[in-house]
Amino acid sequence: MNLQTLAIVGVGLIGGSIGKAAKERGIAAQIVGIEANAASAEWALANGLIDRVADVVPEQADLIALCVPSDLVSDWVVKLADHPAPIFDVGSVKGPIVEAIAARQPVPGQFLPCHPISGSEKSGPQAADATLFDGCTLVITPLEHTTAESQRTCTEFWQALGASIVRMSPQDHDAALAATSHLPHLLAFAYMAQVSNEHLPLTGGGFRDFTRIAAANPELWWRIMRLNRGALSEALDDYSQNLAALVAALEQGDEATGLALIRAAARKRQAADQKLL
Amino acid sequence: MNLQTLAIVGVGLIGGSIGKAAKERGIAAQIVGIEANAASAEWALANGLIDRVADVVPEQADLIALCVPSDLVSDWVVKLADHPAPIFDVGSVKGPIVEAIAARQPVPGQFLPCHPISGSEKSGPQAADATLFDGCTLVITPLEHTTAESQRTCTEFWQALGASIVRMSPQDHDAALAATSHLPHLLAFAYMAQVSNEHLPLTGGGFRDFTRIAAANPELWWRIMRLNRGALSEALDDYSQNLAALVAALEQGDEATGLALIRAAARKRQAADQKLL
């Protein structure tokens, strides 16, 4: 893949990592960063994540990466509706973004909603990592009028960064991510909120891993959970039923029911380890 | 510290790690393993975690480590009530163990309830790790009649393995561990039980870490959570209140409340990182 000008709107952890990876892999001759936070823009430029800073997406850009928070994506897509280049976003929700655009105008054919299943509890360009997408799953949720050219260009770009492409509907994506990502964050935030400082010396590796995602960017996660609250609420219901069943079994000493539930969880997690590590 | 004969009852992950660490550090001239599972005993012997296998704790043992599941500790303490050596256990709950002994006879003065805050989702002697206790916190919960000699010997032993000693009451220990360890396991089991296999390709590092403890030994964890269900239920109530508040904020779009809760969680977890890593 050989791009002339890659435009990255939002040079934080994801945008910065895209810039760094694209540069290291020689995918784009020039990388232009559009970033409202002047300090982030400067840092990204000084540290070679991008080649130059601009106020607007250049006319000649041949691929546009929207790496802004999910609730800002629709504004940018509307603003860039007449730009001829393929556009993708990296938001953790897909349906609400598409709906927010469709409420204002037909969704432009060059816009392909994307989501790399990869991230970190860190944020900002300082945390950018050129290997962040190597081996990760990239979900694309093409719409009825998404152009074949946009799908081809975006797919090739992500594959060049090392990602594997999975195609889903926006609704299936949002339901799956509510279960696998948004719900764990919700639970970890709620859990961590009631841990007291005097508890900390009494914690081990299990606690550390279980709570790691609670250190994630609060503003970003408020927005994601708020946008996807419908699917999140359904995932929460499923989980709550399991929790209630396990708690009832513990209280009643119903070992058959409780142990069956724990064993199913452990078996599933052990099997997953082969795929996750 | 120079022991003549260290007896380890239960040579699984914790017992095996104690044997391995004691041997590598030259703390005991001889290490005797008492283990009901013949395959585990053989493996531990063949791999040098213990020096010999016995059916009963030898008369000449000068320290006895009870590394059996929490609900079997009281039987062993009663059985060894007339043995002169200091005895400690490593159970994840303390109050219920002490109560189970006290229901049958006065708790022997040489028994010191201990709990190393260190573990793994793995189990069995094959997972034994000589560095498991290096830098870990070791909670001791001495009782009214615990002898000074037992406290001194057990404390010196654990310090020789690299642990830092924290002294608490059994009740305070159980409340703290319910919050920091048993509740995360309960939530992770309930969460993992509703994850479907088709979700797995859509998971990232956050999911992997959040669910790691759900791969833990089901029988062991059923017993721990069942024994400590009183304190666990209180920790669950605190957590449930936070979760309900956060869910309500998401549904109502109450950003001030929701974001404040998430920010408090993230700040606490980020601050904890300094101490946890």
Of the residues B117, B149, B168, the one at which a domain ends: B168
Phi and psi at A5, nearest 5°, equal -135, 115
CA atoms within 13 A on the CB side of B217: 14
Same-domain check for residues A19 and A150 = yes
Mean pLDDT per 10-residue section of chain A, whose length is 277 residues: 96 96 96 96 96 97 96 97 98 95 97 90 88 94 97 98 96 95 97 89 90 94 95 96 98 97 94 70
The answer to whether A204 and B119 have CB atoms below 8 angstroms apart is: yes
Residue of A nearest to B222 (CA): A259
pLDDT in tens, B247-269: 999 999 999 999 999 999 999 99
CATH of the domain at B226: 1.10.3660.10
Starting at the earlier edge strand, list the strands of the sheet with B114-117: B114-117, B137-140, B164-167
Minimal Cα–Cα distance from B58 to chain A, Å?
33
Considering its fold, how many domains does chain B have in total? 2
Same-domain check for residues B32 and B136 = yes
CA B23 to chain centre: 21
Question: CB contacts < 8 Å between A and B, how many?
Answer: 271
Same-domain check for residues A200 and A143 = no
Q: How far apart are CA B161 and CA B150, in angstroms?
A: 17
**What is the pLDDT at residue A275?**
66
Single pTM value for the model: 0.86
Selected residues 202-231 of chain A with any CB under 8 Å from a CB in chain B: 202-219, 221-222, 225-226, 229
For residue A138, the SS3 value is: strand
Of the residues B149, B168, B187, the one at which a domain ends: B168
Range of the domain at B109: 3-168
**What is the pLDDT at residue B110?**
98
Contact A265 B193 (CB under 8 A): yes
The answer to whether A110 and A150 have CB atoms below 8 angstroms apart is: yes
Same-domain check for residues A133 and A65 = yes
Q: Which residues of A touch B272 (CB under 8 A)?
A: 195, 200, 203, 211
Same-domain check for residues B152 and B199 = no
Q: In one letter, which amino acid is A125? A: P
Low-confidence ranges of chain B (pLDDT < 50): 277
Among the partner residues A120, A139, A207, nearest to B184 by beta-carbon distance: A207
CA B41 to chain centre: 21
**What is the pLDDT at residue B247?**
98
CATH of the domain at A87: 3.40.50.720
Same-domain check for residues A35 and A125 = yes
For residue B272, the SS3 value is: helix
Of the residues A168, A195, A228, the one at which a domain ends: A168
Phi and psi at A256, nearest 5°, equal -60, -50
The answer to whether A67 and A12 have CB atoms below 8 angstroms apart is: yes
Same-domain check for residues A148 and A213 = no
Same-domain check for residues A136 and A177 = no
E strands within chain A? 3-9, 28-34, 52-53, 63-66, 87-89, 111-112, 114-117, 137-140, 164-167
Contact B264 A204 (CB under 8 A): no
Biggest CA–CA distance in chain B, Å, is 68
B260 touches chain A (CB under 8 A): no
**ipTM of the complex, rounded to two decimals:** 0.85
Same-domain check for residues B164 and B218 = no
**What is the pLDDT at residue A142?**
97
Same-domain check for residues B90 and B12 = yes
Q: Strand A137-140 and strand B28-34: pairing?
A: unpaired
The answer to whether B203 and B174 have CB atoms below 8 angstroms apart is: no
